[in-house]
Amino acid sequence: MNKNLFIGLMSGTSLDGVDIALTEISNDTISCHAFKTIPYSATLKDQLHALNLNTEVTLRTLAQLQTQLGLLYAEIINDFLNVQAIPHKDIQAIGSHGQTIFHDPSLSMSIQIGHPAFIAKHAGIQTVADFRIDDMANGGQGAPLAPAFHKTLFQKHNERLAIVNLGGIANVTLLSENGEIHGADTGPANGLMDEICQAKLNLAYDANGKIAQSCEPDEMLLKQMLSDPYFEKPFPKSTGRDYFNLKWLNQFATEHLSTEVLISTLNQLTVETVANAIKDFKPEKVILCGGGADNRTLQNRLNKSLGIEVVSSSNYSANPHAIEAMMISWLAHQRLNKLPIELQSITGASEASILGGIWAP
C-alpha cells in the first residue's frame, strides 16, 4: 500500500465542473498519476450561477446544495478510483476545496459548499476541507492559496517567474529567485467570457480564443471596466465570482456591441489586469496554468503587452488543467502533517496557518 497517495478535488469559480487528481506526495515532490474533469450538469451549473448573482438565498437552498454537492463529489471519487483500479484503502486522504459561493475578506469569511462529511462517509476515506478560513482567522484574505503551491512546483528552477492561474478568476504568483513570493487575485478570467459564450452563442467557452481573435476589443468599454476600484487595490487582495459576474458586467453599456467584440474586450480585460500586476516585477518568464492556458489569443496578447516569453506550465511537465487539483492534494497532505502554510506575503495573514479541518470516514 502506498501511503503517499492522495485525491485532490477542485471545483473552481468557472463552474466548469469538478477536477479530480490522483497524486503522489513524497517529501517536497508531487506527481500526478491521473487526472479528469467531470462537468456539472446544466441544472446544477444554473443553480450555482444563481448563488453567485444573489447575496440572499434561502437556508433550504443552501443546505440542499451542501448535501447534493457532497454526495456528487463522493460519487465522482468512487467512480474515478474504480476506473483507475486503485483500492480506496490505498488513499491516505481526500482533499476537497468545495464550490466557493461567497468570498469577502472585509468580513473575514469565505464559504465553500459540498460538505466534506458526506464525502468522507460515502467514499470511506478521511477528507480534508475548508482550507481558506484559518488564514482569514489570522487576518489574511483567505486567497489566493495557489502561490504557496506554485512555489513548491516551480522554485527548483531558480528563475524569476510569474505564474498566472486562469480559472473563473485570475490569480498571479510572483516568485523571486531567492524564494520570496507574492500573489493576488487580479480580476476576472474565464468566468465572464464563458458565461457570454454560453448565453449568446450556445458554446461552452471560446476555444483557443478564436472568437476573441476575430475582432478588436472595444476601447471605451475596456476603459470603463478598468476603472473598477478593485484593479487599483494593492497586494494583498482577493475576489470571486460573487463580485465579478454578469451583474457586474451589466452595469456597463454593451447592447451596441456584437457578442464577438464583447468577448474580445473581456479577453483584453484579463490581459491588462494580469499584465498590470506583473510588469513591475520584471519576471524572466510567465507561466500559464488553469483552463485559460489553452486560450492562445490571451497568451499572445499577454506576450505582446509584457514583451516577455509566455508559456504553458506543460513546458515544465505540469498539466495546466491539473495543477489546482494537485494543490488541494498537497494542502490535505500539509494538514495531516500539521504543517503551516506560509501565506503572510500573499494574503496578508499575521502568521503562517495550518489550513483545513479533517472529517473521518
Q: What number is the average pLDDT over the span 31-58?
A: 88
Q: What number is the average pLDDT over the span 101-120?
A: 96
Pairing label, strands 285-289, 161-166 = parallel
d(C-alpha 23, C-alpha 6), whole Å:
5
Judgement on whether residues 168 and 81 belong to the same structural domain of the protein: no
Judgement on whether residues 136 and 156 belong to the same structural domain of the protein: no
Judgement on whether residues 182 and 290 belong to the same structural domain of the protein: yes
The separation between the first and the last C-alpha atoms of the chain, rounded to the nearest angstrom, is: 18
- Residue 179: the pLDDT is 87
What is the total count of domains within the chain? 2
Which cell numbers hold the place of 337?
502533517
- Quick check: 286 pLDDT over 60? yes
Judgement on whether residues 276 and 299 belong to the same structural domain of the protein: yes
Judgement on whether residues 192 and 263 belong to the same structural domain of the protein: yes
Judgement on whether residues 310 and 332 belong to the same structural domain of the protein: no
Q: Which of 189, 180, 103 is nearest to 141 (CA)?
A: 103
Q: Which of 11, 76, 42 is nearest to 291 (CA)?
A: 11
Q: What number is the average pLDDT over the span 34-40?
A: 96
Q: In this predicted model, what pLDDT tens digit does every residue of 94-104 receive, in sequence order?
A: 999 999 999 99
- Residue 194: the pLDDT is 95
In a domain, 156, yes or no: yes
In a domain, 345, yes or no: no
Judgement on whether residues 124 and 186 belong to the same structural domain of the protein: no
- Greatest mean pLDDT among 12-16, 73-77, 154-158: 73-77
In a domain, 227, yes or no: yes
Judgement on whether residues 70 and 163 belong to the same structural domain of the protein: no
Q: What number is the average pLDDT over the span 10-16?
A: 86
* Count of CB atoms situated within 10 Å of the CB of 19: 26
- Quick check: 339 pLDDT over 90? yes
DSSP codes joined into one string, 83-120: HHT--GGG--EEEEEEEEEEEEGGGTEEEEES-HHHHH
Per the structure, the complete domain to which residue 20 belongs is given by: 5-143+322-340+351-359
325: left (phi over 0), alpha (psi -120 to 50) or beta: alpha
Q: Whose grid coordinates read 443552501?
A: 62
In a domain, 128, yes or no: yes
Judgement on whether residues 176 and 281 belong to the same structural domain of the protein: yes
Q: In this predicted model, what pLDDT tens digit does every residue of 77-88 receive, in sequence order?
A: 999 999 999 999
Judgement on whether residues 92 and 155 belong to the same structural domain of the protein: no
* Percent of the chain whose predicted confidence (pLDDT) is above 70: 99
What mean pLDDT, rounded, does the chain reach?
Answer: 95
Judgement on whether residues 308 and 261 belong to the same structural domain of the protein: yes
- Quick check: 8 pLDDT over 90? yes
d(C-alpha 124, C-alpha 360), whole Å:
8
* Count of CB atoms situated within 10 Å of the CB of 260: 18
Residue 55 banded pLDDT, cuts 50, 70, 90:
low
Which range has the worst mean pLDDT, 13-17, 193-197, 238-242? 13-17
* Percent of the chain whose predicted confidence (pLDDT) is above 90: 88
Which residue would you say has higher pLDDT here, 157 or 183? 183
Q: Whose grid coordinates read 495543477?
A: 323
Residue 1 banded pLDDT, cuts 50, 70, 90:
very low
In a domain, 346, yes or no: no
- Quick check: 12 pLDDT over 90? no
pTM, two decimals, is 0.93
DSSP codes joined into one string, 224-282: HHHTSGGGGPPSS----TTTSSHHHHTTS--TTS-HHHHHHHHHHHHHHHHHHHHGGG-
- Quick check: 2 pLDDT over 70? no
In a domain, 336, yes or no: yes
CATH number of the domain that residue 271 is part of = 3.30.420.40
Judgement on whether residues 137 and 198 belong to the same structural domain of the protein: no
- Residue 245: the pLDDT is 92
- Residue 63: the pLDDT is 95
Q: In this predicted model, what pLDDT tens digit does every residue of 223-277 receive, in sequence order?
A: 999 999 999 999 999 999 889 999 999 999 999 999 999 999 999 999 999 999 9
